[in-house]
Amino acid sequence: MILYSKTHEYIRVEGEKGYIGISDYAQKQLGNVVYVDMPDLGDELEKGEDFGAIESVKAASDLISPVSGEVVEVNDALSENPRLINADAMANWIIAVTINDPSELEDLMDQAAYDAFIAG
């Protein structure tokens, strides 16, 4: 299940774990990504707060966590090659977190709702 936030992060829910990245739409709007600032393993994230930043040739944007939880994986490949996000934003997640409170997923959008959101 993939859900989206209004700030264009996605979370791919796999059991109690969620893989967080930025949407393909966000990737296109940002243009070529040159740097991804990621949290450390074990960091505790709060829903709605920033957990890092992404920098492109156009702009730098905060990364906002769609859920609260602990960082259990960090996609190290992105520090070597941040352009992977442009190549495939959905496959190249940024971090994985534990989902502490599944009810936090309720206000996120599914694919259809997100498509409508970016079109509107």
In the complex, the residues that contact other proteins under the rule CB under 8 A are 29, 32, 34-35, 57-59, 82-83
If phi > 0 it is left, if psi is from -120 to 50 it is alpha, else beta; for residue 15 that is: left
Q: Report in angstroms how near the CB of residue 100 gets to other proteins at its nearest.
A: 26
Q: Report in angstroms how near the CB of residue 12 gets to other proteins at its nearest.
A: 25
Among the listed residues 66, 76, 57, the one whose alpha carbon sits nearest the alpha carbon of residue 97: 66
Q: Report in angstroms how near the CB of residue 76 gets to other proteins at its nearest.
A: 16
Closest to other proteins by CB, 89 vs 96, is 89
> Chain-centre distance of CA 17, in angstroms?
13
